[in-house]
Every structure is written in C-alpha cells, then in structure tokens.
A and B are shown apart, each in its own frame.
Chain A
Amino acid sequence: MPPSAVETIRRALHALRRLQRERATAVLELELKELENVFALLVFGGFVGLPSPPAPLAAELLPLLERELRVAASRADLAHDPLAALAGTLDAG
C-alpha cells in the first residue's frame, strides 16, 4: 500500500531536516577529517619518513587509531587535488 499523503509529507520534512543538518555540519566534518588525518600523520609519520614521536609511543597508540588510519588513507586519495575536494564541500565553483 502506498504511503498516505501525511506520511509522505512527514518523510519529506524528515529528509529536508536531515539535508539541512548535513549541510550545517559539512565544513565541520571536513575540518574534523583533516584533524584526524593530521593526528595519524603526526603519530605514524615515522613510517613514511616524516619526523615522529619515539616509535614506542606510536606503537602504544597504534591499536586505538583504526579510525584515524582509515581517514588518513582516504585523505591520501584526495591528496592530488585537495582544492577540488574543498570546493566541493563548500559548494563553490
């Protein structure tokens, strides 16, 4: 049975609200991902030739940083064109 008109309007409003919320947090989410990326780079930079904390400290944090490593890997995909990613998030151009 197709949804009633009231249900359809309710779903539309919910989707609209969700969209507004996502737009409101998009820039914050971008900043958060960059912060998490920087965190992973600072801790594990030694593995790719960057200055890093003493290796035992990195090893102690490693088991807890799965999320940051995933973010760092995904940000690496965008590394060739970070401005395009930024422009997309800001809805510019």
Chain B
Amino acid sequence: MARNAFFLGKGGTGKTTLSAALAVSLARAGRRVLAVSLDPAHNLGDLLGVLLGEVPVRVEERLEALEVDLGAWVERHLAASREELKATYAYTSALNVDSLFDLLRLSPGTEEHAVLLAIDHVDRVLAPSYDVVVWDTPPTGLTLRFLAMPSVSARWVAELRGLRERILGRRQAIARVNTESAAAAGAVTPADDPVHARLGAMRERLGRLQDLFARRSLLAVVVNPDLLSVAEASRISEALARLDIPLSAVCLNSRDGAGSPTSLAPPLAHLPRVETGYLAGPSRSRADLLLLDLAPLAARLFARPEAAP
C-alpha cells in the first residue's frame, strides 16, 4: 500500500514547492511517486513543468502527477444523486429535483465532500500502483474542513445506523405477530434494508478516509520565518489534535533566506523540525527543487510502519 504525505500550511509558505520537491526527490531515489494537487490554484503542474489533468500524467521516470478538478467531482456527485432520485421518484412531479440539486451545489459541505470523493478515488484506484502519493493541499480553511468531515460524518452515520437498527427491530417484532401490518412492510432485517446497506457503505468509506488521514499519512505543516505562517500552523496543529489526526513534522521553508524562527510556539515545539533550506529566486527546473533538503522528511515517511492493504 502506498505511503502518503500531505503538506499543509498558510498560503504562500511553499506547500506546492515542497510537495513537488519531495515527489521529484523520491522518484529520483527510485520510488514510484504520484503527486496530487488538491489546490484549486493548481500550481503543481507549473512547478513540475507539465500540463496536468484529472488522470496521471508522466512527469519523468517513476513520477506521475494529476490535478483534481473539484468542480468536476461536485458535478459528478450531483449527477449521480440526481439520476438516482429521478429513477426513484419518476412517478411524481411533486419533488422539484433540479432546483433541489441546484441548492445542494451551494450548500455547506458539498465542496469538502467532493474533495473526499476525489481523495478516496485516488487512494483506492490509483495509489496501489505507486510507492508514495504526495498531496498538495488547498488553503487551510478547506483543508481543515475536509480533514474534519470524515469524523463528523462518521458520528452521524453511527447514530443513524443505530436508529435504523431500532426501526428494523420494531418492524421485525410487528411482522412476527401481524404479517398483514402495513407498518412491517418492506425490509425487516439489516441484510434486506437498502438504507442500512447505504449507511454501511458510508461508514466503510468514512472509516477508510479517517484511517488514511490519521494512520496512513505523514502530515507536515509548512512555515516561513514569519509570525503569520507560524500562527496559522499552530492553529492547524490544534485543529488536527481535536480530530485525533497526528501532525508529523514542521517544515521550515526559508524561501527568502531570511533564516528560521528561533523558537516555535508550544503546539509546534514538540514536533520534529525539518529545515528545508531555500531556493534562491524562482525555481527554473525540476532539478532546482532538489536543492531543497527533504531527506529527513523522506526518512520519516519510510520509517513509518507500512499500513496493511
């Protein structure tokens, strides 16, 4: 199973640069690497010098990359739901399906859900062909929301599943006594109930994502020698702690050569620090990315026990 590395941090700290640098250095060290951009700004392709799309594109030997099109994932998700609704409610015009789904597109959670569908797809379908998947994340707000969503949703699904089992229990009891009761019509056991099955599938998907974020990934927060990026990194660290997602390292990316902050605030102080050095001026080629020292981070990535498939 592939190892995963996520770079988080304030916009402009160098998440994309470090993602690209780690991906290139690992590929040149003999690992099969997939670099995935979740950032709507999509600068990863610019850095790697390749036009990226939704399917993996070869960057160089052993290195492929893709850009997740969040808009397309939202549309795919809504189209699938719309088709299912149309099939179920074909006989009635009472439900204004199209307008409902126009609202869902704008509703809180849809964008995070689309990110999670994309991550799940990469993790299940594409990642098994690689040794490492390096993820470049979107701005902190969206990143924290999609990292939080599996655990929040999993709690809902667990409660709904419990309630569903109570409902099925009552239906079973009624069906045993009065087979003609309309209340007992339909599924009476979890095995027959499509709602219970759907909740089970949701639980499995959410569990997979929780496992990916909390146990199968190295999460590194990137900071520059400035107060704002360090403050945001501290908030990220605290938010992840609330979600039981461990942060593995702080990358001090001194892009402008101004030096590293001499001390980090307590939420970050206990984390391993990786001093990446800096690129003097803009990166001109992929070889420039190798000037950044990410060997300690790569060592941490491979020091982790490999997750069972």
Contacts and interface: CB of A to CB of B under 8 A. Distances in A.
Interface string A25-62: 10011011101101100110010000001111101111
A54 B156 contact: yes
Given A42-B160, A56-B109, A18 B170 contact: no
Contacts of B173: 25, 28
Contact of A61 (B112, B183, B186, B198): B198
Interface stretch (B3-11, B174-182, B284-292): B174-182
Contact of A56 (B110, B164, B194, B198): B110
Given A25-B183, A39-B163, A56-B104, 16 more contacts: A21-B178, A22-B181, A25-B177, A38-B163, A42-B163, A43-B160, A54-B152, A55-B104, A55-B107, A55-B109, A57-B153, A61-B195, A62-B81, A63-B88, A64-B88, A67-B186
A79 interface: no
Interface in B181-230: 181, 183, 186, 194-195, 198-199, 202
Interface of A: 18, 21-22, 24-25, 28-29, 31-33, 35-36, 38-39, 42-43, 46, 53-57, 59-67
Chain B contact residues, majority secondary structure:
helix
A24 B186 contact: no
B174 A54 contact: no
A35 B163 contact: yes
Chain A contact residues, majority secondary structure:
helix
Interface of B: 77, 81, 84-85, 87-89, 101, 104, 107-110, 112-113, 149, 152-153, 156-157, 159-160, 163-164, 166-167, 170-171, 173-174, 177-178, 180-181, 183, 186, 194-195, 198-199, 202
